[in-house]
Structure formats: structure tokens, C-alpha cells
Structure 1
Amino acid sequence: MPAAIKGSITVNGQAIAITNPDKLLWPEMGITKEIYLQKLAALSPYLLRYCQNRLLTVIRYPHGVPGMSFYQKNAPEPLPPFVKTATQDNITYIMLQGLPELLWLGNLAALEFHPSLHYAGSELPCEWMIDLDPSREVEPRIMEATAIVGDVLRSLGLNSVPKTSGATGVQIIVPIHPGVTFDGLRRIGHFVGRFVTEKHPELFTLERLKKNRGDKIYFDYLQHYGGKTLAAPYTPRARPLATVSTPLLWMEVEQNVSPTDFHLLNIEERLSSKGDLIQKVPAQRVEDIISQLS
């Protein structure tokens, strides 16, 4: 990332104002806004891949992680001329198309990036994601649950990529061919969710109300739908340890890796050695499975 000059940087020909570069955004990790912007620049080839051409929601923390936060769907005014938008359901969303937009949002203390699950102007999903959502803040069984779901998907002939949410949970991503509908993927999700909850009733639940889940892990197949969002791969999270939503190898799942192992201060080294694990899995054919469930 270019060095700041008189409170601004120039990226791809665009001038971006930088305010309060010394402000601590993750105090426990010593991460200032300046460090954060440097890390965003390093993450950009990966994070942008899963945000471009989608409707973006961000979570902003003007005073850093310990402070108040708010979700931002509508683009703030005034907008820099290089920031494009798209309107849906009377909401004007930011289109996160490149590094200038990413660093502009970083300067606004946008610490989390939650894109739509479909492209702007489309009603079809970009990929299929299953969300495994623990009921407890610390869930030592999350990787065990992830491995079980991965095995079921493989039994259906589907390769997938697990990723930490960056918080407490895990999402499992199945790359798909264009044309599959959200409703079709919900049918598969319900089938897989019902199967694992019947096989492992002590571990999984399909109960939507958190107060009724006990200590079980919620198999959420409903969150993957039009108008909803999930944490983007490679988004930072506003957690004390500055964790990053990180794709995993299945071997790492079997080794019971911790979601807190991957954070802003070590993610560059991981990406240098492993690259984008999602890109290494080709699109899977789910149409035949959907037709059998219809």
C-alpha cells in the first residue's frame, strides 16, 4: 500500500483520505488503522474476489472493537466518485469492486464485509454455503461437526471447502455451476441437516430459536438465501483477536484447528503458502441431487 502523504494515499489513480491512522482498532492486538489498511491491501486479491459485483453490507466500529458498532447497508453520503452503487429493495448498496473502495471503507472503520449471496441484479446464488452456528461462545466440537457434514457431502459426490467464520462458527462452501436456485439449495440443505441431526442428535439441531438449542450446533441451511448475507471469505472480524474468516484444508479440520488461529497479523503468511483454497475446488454438479429431492 502506498505510504500516506498529507493524510491521503493514491491507489490506482484514486486519492483516498486517511484520518486518524494511529487510532487503535483492535487494542488487544495492537492493530491501528494504519496497520489495518496495510492488511486490507494484502487481503484484497482474495477478499475482493468474493465481494465484487455483489451488494455489500459492512459493520463499522468508529472507535474500534471495544466501542459501539452499526451495520451499514445504504451507501454513506457524500460518496467518492470512484465508488459505484446498486439499488435493490430501496437500499443503495456499495459495490466493492477494487482496492480504492476497500481502503476507503477501511478508513471508515468498516471492520467486517458481508456481501450478498448473489450478484447484483441476479436472483441466483453464486455458491452454496452451509452455516454451522454454535450455541456456546466457545465450542470445542465445532471441527468435529464440520468433519461430519463434510463426510456427508462427500457421500453425495460433492467436494467442499470449510472456512472459519472468524467468530465462533464454520461455513462450508460448495462451488456450483450457474443456474441453480436458492430454493433448490435449501432442499439439499434441509436433507443434509435432517440427516446429521438424526445421526448425531447430541451435536446438531435444526432449531431456529437460539434459546431452544441448548448447547447444540445449529445447522443453518436457511441463511443461504436471497437478501441475506454471510461473512465473506477473508473478511476480518470485529473480535478481540482480529480473527479473519479463513478457508481450511479438511486435514486441518481433522486436526481440530481453532478459528482463533487465523488473524490479521498472520493471514499473509498463510495465503502466501496455501493460496485461495476455495479456488482450488471446481464447481460441483448439484442439479441431479436437487432433482432427486424434488
Structure 2
Amino acid sequence: MSKTTEKVPLKVEGHEILISNPSKPLWPNISKIEYLHKLVKLAPFLLTYCKNRYLTTIRFPHGYNDKTFFYQKNCPEPTPDFVNTAYLHNIHYVNLDNVATLLWLGNLACLEFHPSFHYINQSLPVEWVIDIDPSKENEPRLVDAVLFIGELLDKLHIQSVPKTSGATGIQIVIPIEQKYSFDQLRKMGQFISEFLVQKHPNLFTIERLKKNRKQLIYIDYLQHWQGKTLAAPYTPRAREHAPVSTPLFWHEINKNLIPSDFNLLNIENRLKKEGDLIQKVKPQQLDHLLAHLSN
């Protein structure tokens, strides 16, 4: 006799989603149904950075430490009628623009959400992100490295928001006026990165190959490009302690920073108190830096 799969109906936005194996642990202390409830709380924030973008998810059918995880770009099938999609380069992407779609993906054990840097059917990036990637898991110099970058941006009169990647690194998000090309942002990112490598050669590198970085901290300005992705603000990550990629105040970048302290179990209280820190920064105008680079 074939084994039946436990399914529980969940109603959201007028749609019914059948939740399979709701008691299955996706993290040691978070079951699938609990995860879905957490996603409902994250939705107003997470959807801001996923809707109307080409979405890549990472699926972990047996939980966060499942070695059979896989990246999913093409929309899973069968596809409910409430799921909106978009084509790009022969890939049928999900447009994560409603809570029902988020919970449908959560039921499929999508534990991470990685959107494009540009909107569907547009070519200009919506924000600028610089990824700071340490070469080792616990890098005590990471805080200093991020602060150096923040100080330089501040001297360039560019406001930014640091966020935990949810893994080992920190990403610096710069809200921008939507008029700059990926090429222009890459040119500015290269300038900033090369300046920091020159000023702090024992701390930073722009070496792409990890095996050649030694113990240096990688400034990845190349990842911000059409067709590439990074973890969205407020996405969960498939790591121990169920971390959430969380925007921070600059004063929180200090020696006491532990990225896993921002996780699915406590993120709701932080968001109620602080709101979305990225939305509190006005879109930045970067013409002055472009003009400098053109001289």
C-alpha cells in the first residue's frame, strides 16, 4: 500500500493551498507550517524586493541542511492560477508579487529567495549592492572592512544600508535613482574596490578566485549585474539558526555583531519596531561620482 502524504488546506488571499507534511522540520526548531506563518509576517518586507523581478529560489526538500538542495529558476509545475510569471532568455520565472505565491513556494521548501537586480521587462537596476565576502567562516576583521567601505561611501556623499547576507558576509545596499546602467554602477564599484585594496592591501582583495584570496576579504562589485542575483533583503537563509538577511543600522556594525542573531524566530519583533531601514533612505543621485570618473 502506498504511503499517503499528510496535507492541510491553508487559505490566503482567497486562495487555498494544500500544505504537504506541515509538521516536517525545515530547521530543527521550525516546522514547515511554522515556517509558512513566519513567511506571512515577512511578506510585506520581502515582497518589496521580489515583486516584479525575475526570481530564483533555492529549494531544500528535506530541510536547511539537505545536501540535495537545488536552484530553481523555471517556475515549478503544476502552477496555480494565482502565480504570475515572466519570461527572460527562455526561462519561465516566478514573479513573487503576492502572499499566496510566497506560501506556495514555501510549501515547496523554497528556503531562499534571490531576485534580479532589475524589474521585469526593464534593463536599469533598481538598487546598487556591493557584496563583502570573507574568505573564512568567522572573520573578526569583517566589521572593520564593512566600516571602511561605509566611511568611504559617506565621504562620497552616498547614503547606504548594510545588511547581513544571512550567511557569512555583509552586503551594502545603496538605493538609487533608477537612471543608471549596470555598466555605470560596475565602473563605480570598481573604483571604490580598487581604492580600498590600494589603501588596505592586507585586508581587501578583488581576486575573483577564492583559492587565490588567501585570508583577504573579497569586495565583489561584479555580482551586481543583469542576470545575476543576491539574497533579497528579508529572505530566510538555509543555515543553522534560520538566519534572515537583515538590513542594519550602521551603529550595529560592531564587534558584537552576530548575523545569526537576526533570524526567523525574532525578526518579527525587530520589523515591528524598526520597519524597513532601506526604505528610509532616499534614492541616491550618483552623477557626481560618475562625473569624477569621467575626468
Give matches, 1:1-294, under 5 Å. 7-27=8-28, 30-67=29-66, 68-294=68-294
Q: CA deviation at 1:254?
A: 3.4
How many angstroms apart in 1 are the aligned matches of 2:219 and 2:171? 10
Any idea what SS the aligned residue of 2:290 has?
Answer: helix
In structure 1, give the amino acid aligned to 2:14: G
Q: 1:118-169: per-residue Cα shift (whole Å, max 9, x none)?
A: 0011111000000001110111221211111000000000010000000000
TM-score by length of 1: 0.96
Q: Tell whether the 8 Å contact from 1:64 to 1:109 is kept in structure 2 after alignment.
A: yes
Q: Tell whether the 8 Å contact from 1:143 to 1:256 is kept in structure 2 after alignment.
A: no
2:4 maps to: none
Structure 1 stretches lacking a partner, 5+ long? 1-5
In structure 2, give the amino acid aligned to 1:171: Q
Q: 1:242-293: per-residue Cα shift (whole Å, max 9, x none)?
A: 0000000001013541211111001011111111000111011112211321
Q: CA deviation at 1:111?
A: 0.1
Cα RMSD, aligned residues only: 0.9
How many angstroms apart in 1 are the aligned matches of 2:256 and 2:249? 11
Any idea what SS the aligned residue of 1:254 has?
Answer: coil
Q: CA deviation at 1:188?
A: 0.8
How many angstroms apart in 2 are the aligned matches of 1:261 and 1:188? 32
Runs of 4 or more off by more than 4 Å in structure 1?
none
In structure 2, give the amino acid aligned to 1:19: S
Structure 2 stretches lacking a partner, 5+ long? 1-6
Q: 1:17-39: per-residue Cα shift (whole Å, max 9, x none)?
A: 11101000011xx1110110011
Aligned identity (percent) is 57
Q: 1:92-120: per-residue Cα shift (whole Å, max 9, x none)?
A: 00000010000000000000000000001
In structure 1, give the amino acid aligned to 2:62: H
How many angstroms apart in 1 are the aligned matches of 2:264 and 2:93? 26
TM-score by length of 2: 0.96
Q: 1:170-195: per-residue Cα shift (whole Å, max 9, x none)?
A: 11011100111011011110111011
Any idea what SS the aligned residue of 1:15 has?
Answer: strand
In structure 1, give the amino acid aligned to 2:147: A
2:3 maps to: none
Q: 1:199-227: per-residue Cα shift (whole Å, max 9, x none)?
A: 11111100000000011110000000000
1:3 maps to: none
